[in-house]
Structure 1
Amino acid sequence: MITSEFLSAKLGDAKVHFERALDCKHTEFDDLYPYMIEHPQFFWYKRYVAWSELLTIVKLCDELGEEWKSQFTERQAEYIAKRVMSSRVLDEWYETNDSKEHVG
């Protein structure tokens, strides 16, 4: 059975995965496709995969009536609701340069 705690944990994992991809840090994608690192499109693909994962978990939360927005800033939740990974999402995911909370 899927619990709120399980979904919350998966959502947190997906958020960390996306933020690691944004920050060009190591993710599972690097391990799955090590030969891709040489390609200029690599980081775009990596971010796209992480964004898709995040949207999938959010969609599951919506379908199951689980709250998900509390794990994000208001602006981040708006980006997710729009579903499009635009340059604005990539550039402004973190609210300001002063408040960047990059994942470790």
Structure 2
Amino acid sequence: MGNMNADFMNAKLADAKIHFERALDCKHTEFDDLYPYMIEHPQFFWYKRYVAWSELLTIVKLCEELSIEWHESFTAKQVDYIGKRVMSSRVLDEWYETNDSKEHVG
């Protein structure tokens, strides 16, 4: 049962990470389908990212409570952001940045 739980939670963690990254990239997520009337709202993308971040933190918390390793799915910087729990502008701006990534053209 333990491995099955870990596999299930790892799949949920991967889904939550993809959901957050799609929200960061302003790509379509389930949130768009749930609240189509909000797309015109200037705060829409902020709400969408907030929902995805909350989902990610919830899955991480469940992994911790179940003693399931989750750190290896993220960079060290991302683990630090998740540990701080606050979705700051730094999280939004630097989520993808790694030492070997291409420099963002400003």
TM-score, normalised via structure 2 length: 0.90
After superposing on structure 2, the runs of 4+ consecutive aligned residues of structure 1 that deviate more than 3 Å are: none
Amino acid corresponding to residue 19 of structure 2 in structure 1? H
Q: How does 1:1-104 map to 2 (within 5 A)?
A: 3-96=5-98, 98=102
**In the aligned structure 2, how far is the partner of 1:62 from the partner of 1:9?**
15
Q: Which has the higher contact order (CA 8 A, sep 6+)?
A: 1
Q: Could you tell me how far 1:53 is from its partner in structure 2? A: 0.1
For the pair shown, the structure with the greater C-alpha radius of gyration is 2
Q: Could you tell me how far 1:92 is from its partner in structure 2? A: 0.2
RMSD: 1.6
Any stretches of 5+ residues in structure 1 without a counterpart? none
Percent identity over paired residues: 77
**In the aligned structure 2, how far is the partner of 1:62 from the partner of 1:52?**
15
